[in-house]
Structure 1
Amino acid sequence: MKNAENIIVGISIGDLNGIGGEIVLKTFEDNRFLDFCTPVIFASTKTMGFLKTHFKSGIYFNNINNLEQLAIGKVNVFNCWNEPVKIEFGKEDPKIGEYAIKSLQAATKALKNNAIDVLVTAPINKHNIQSETFNFPGHTDYLARELEGESLMFMVNDTLRVGLLTDHVPVKDIVNHISEELIIKKINTVYKSLKKDFRIRRPKIAVLGINPHTGDNGVIGNEDDAVLRPTLKKLIEDGKLVYGPYAADSFFGSNNYKNFDAIIASYHDQGLIPFKTLSFGQGVNYTAGLSKVRTSPDHGTAYEIAGQGKADENSFKEAIFTAIKIFRNRLEYKHITSNRLKKAPKKI
């Protein structure tokens, strides 16, 4: 069993014209982080030096060109490029998008090769990262291709976990994406994650309806009756504690969400608006269902305040805490299940 005392945390730097660099610096200016994790920032010595000077940070970097040079208990910067980068805070720039992708690709490669234990991603601009060689709506879709498993956007904090049936899908196309196969796949992913990543032995999951008032018996759409309810019935017959569909408009306001270990929303805004309203600045975006652990803060590039020293690093800190906690939970889960298999009586 791997030593879980000091976790190696890989960090992709995100959009350099946004607040990513600032929240990374602010986080690791607190030396207490180095007692339980070793950060590796995938960027460059020159770039991080510019950010350090701009934000008047007293942080010390250990600069490395390969991951064998990594120093435990230090803030490491892995050089993904050597040329100077023109940073213009608050500006959307395709060239800056290219550096965000270089950082993400290098960090993902390190994660796949077990050179780092977990990945925490600073915010990117989904528009300026697009190119002929990189055509993904965001981190989640890219990592789903690179890492094994069924990916799912899982917004989490200490008391609330919200997963999505569909994520970056236009509203007009949502119902065309929701099928029995998709519902079963996503709920099974959440169920496994709750057990393995969050150490919940018997998860209770609530599912929100697709239509207003879950269709009102077909008056406002029939997808809830035709697709969602029959599929949930199959999952219940399979032994899972799955409840719903619930009308989304009153579910959070009535505090009903507190009765469940996770909530599955049918589409992006149905789940993320209440989540961010209840926990903005403390929430974490976790990509559940992958073979590796990846988290990110619950906000974007925040161009409007970039470079001004106003960014709040708390969500990024929570993303690091959550990644480490899940990594340790996975180690423990693997250890427990391995021991159970060893003790199980052999079939004759």
Structure 2
Amino acid sequence: MDSKQDAGKIRLGISVGDLNGIGCEVALKTFEDNRMLDFCTPVIFASNKTISHQKQTLGIQISFNGVPHAAKAIDGKINVVNIWKETPKSEFGQATEEGGTYAIRSLRAAVGSLKAGDIDVLVTAPINKNNIQAADFNFPGHTDFLAQELEGESLMFMVSNSLRIGLLTDHIAVKDVANAITTKLVKDKIMTMMNSLKVDFGLRKPKIAMLGINPHSGDNGTIGQEDDKILKPAIAQLFDQGNLVYGPYSADSFFGSNTHQNFDAILAAYHDQGLIPFKTLSFGQGVNYTAGLSKVRTSPDHGTAYEIAGQGKADPRSFKEAVFAAIQIYRNREEHKELTKNPLKKQKQRK
């Protein structure tokens, strides 16, 4: 079905995350501004009772439209798909088993609608990686689950207006990082990033920097062999094939020297190597984007923030940026499809 009822209007699904965190709060605050409805049709996967409780507790002034299915969403309104009828117990600030259960119910329903085409893009509110674990859900986070559900090679890609950082390895222990990195993994992740920069961000000839695994990128083998034996050969092979990929760069001085400004994106070897500089430079304005999949999914760059949950203090800026990013990436993908089908149009645009 064509999920966009008018030209340019995109159906944007929202999974609510942990109900005891700030997920609902930042989502509802985002659409408290009615102008946001000019950009998309929001579809929240929860229940009327749950959203009513959240908005009353937090003092958020919105109205919404309850629907039985995402396909029934109405443009110009905030839509809530009723996934459950019961009222979950509210324990703001607490990591409870029930909180994890409803987070996964919302996520599964949203992903199902995304796969069916009833929504166009998905924005996920934060979950707690501990309380989501269950017999039928054994994933360290959103990214791994989405990689299973939506075909493609996933890449955790942190993006803002001025910085893009992808992760070679993401949610694994530091002690396991070196053993997890192979030449194939490096090449696959770089090419996933390269394709995303072209298709999702509209860059014709992207430049990518790879950060080293070891301090000083191994100092020519003095501090570990992985950079010389794994990263350098993979980068050289990709460069010889016409890809603008450079490195490995020593991570300790890369951002402080502003070297990152010379590249369209950076691939970090492990989670904190990439996330620390990203959140230092872009926190509150960054977006976590899962690149490489058949559908568009974004999320804010923060977690459940239990320490302020239920107090009305949460800042919705990052969630709003995630909404805008999802819309723009979707439009870029649609434009790329059109240009691919009609190369003459592409040639005219270049003139």
Scaled by the length of structure 1, the TM-score of the pair is: 0.97
* 1:78-89 matched pairs, under 5 angstroms: 78-89=81-92
Aligned to 1:119: 122
Q: Distance in 2 between matches of 1:187 and 1:82?
A: 44
Q: Is 2:265 the partner of 1:262?
A: yes
- The one-letter code sitting in structure 2 at the alignment partner of 1:143 is L
- The one-letter code sitting in structure 2 at the alignment partner of 1:185 is D
Structure 2 vs 1, CA of residues 342 and 262 (structure 1 numbering), >3 Å: closer, same or farther?
A: closer
Residue 180 (structure 1) shift: 0.6
Give the alignment partner of residue 22 of structure 2, picking from 19, 22, 29. Answer: 19
Residue 116 (structure 1) shift: 0.3
Residue 56 (structure 1) shift: 1.7
Q: Give secondary structure in 2 for the equivalent of 1:128.
A: coil
Output one character per residue of 1:82-121: Cα deviation in whole Å (capped at 9) or x when no partner: 0011111000101110000000000000000010010000
Q: Distance in 1 between matches of 2:93 and 2:149?
A: 30
Q: Is 2:206 the partner of 1:198?
A: no
Flag as ranges the 4+ runs of structure 1 deviating above 3 A: 1-4, 341-344
Give the alignment partner of residue 68 of structure 2, picking from 65, 69, 76. Answer: 65
Output one character per residue of 1:296-318: Cα deviation in whole Å (capped at 9) or x when no partner: 00000000000111100000000
Structure 2 vs 1, CA of residues 172 and 83 (structure 1 numbering), >3 Å: closer, same or farther?
A: same
Q: Is 2:69 the partner of 1:74?
A: no
Aligned residues: 344
Give the alignment partner of residue 296 of structure 2, picking from 293, 296, 302. Answer: 293
Aligned to 2:106: 103
Unaligned runs of 5+ in 2: none
Structure 2 vs 1, CA of residues 231 and 341 (structure 1 numbering), >3 Å: closer, same or farther?
A: farther
Q: Distance in 2 between matches of 1:230 and 1:25?
A: 48
Percent identity over the alignment is 66
Q: Is 2:58 the partner of 1:49?
A: no
Give the alignment partner of residue 247 of structure 2, picking from 239, 244, 247. Answer: 244
- The one-letter code sitting in structure 2 at the alignment partner of 1:205 is I
Residue 34 (structure 1) shift: 0.4
Aligned to 2:12: 9
Residue 342 (structure 1) shift: 10
Structure 2 vs 1, CA of residues 24 and 81 (structure 1 numbering), >3 Å: closer, same or farther?
A: same
Q: Give secondary structure in 2 for the equivalent of 1:245.
A: strand
Give the alignment partner of residue 215 of structure 1, picking from 215, 218, 223. Answer: 218
Q: Give secondary structure in 1 for the equivalent of 2:176.
A: helix
Residue 4 (structure 1) shift: 5.3
Give the alignment partner of residue 253 of structure 1, picking from 252, 256, 262. Answer: 256
Contact kept, 8 Å, 1:22 with 1:309, in 2: the verdict is yes
Q: Pairwise CA RMSD of aligned residues?
A: 1.4
- The one-letter code sitting in structure 2 at the alignment partner of 1:158 is N
Residue 340 (structure 1) shift: 2.0
Contact kept, 8 Å, 2:193 with 2:291, in 1: the verdict is yes
Q: Is 2:192 the partner of 1:189?
A: yes
Q: Distance in 2 between matches of 1:10 and 1:67?
A: 8
Q: Give secondary structure in 2 for the equivalent of 1:29.
A: coil
- The one-letter code sitting in structure 1 at the alignment partner of 2:249 is Y
* 1:144-159 matched pairs, under 5 angstroms: 144-159=147-162
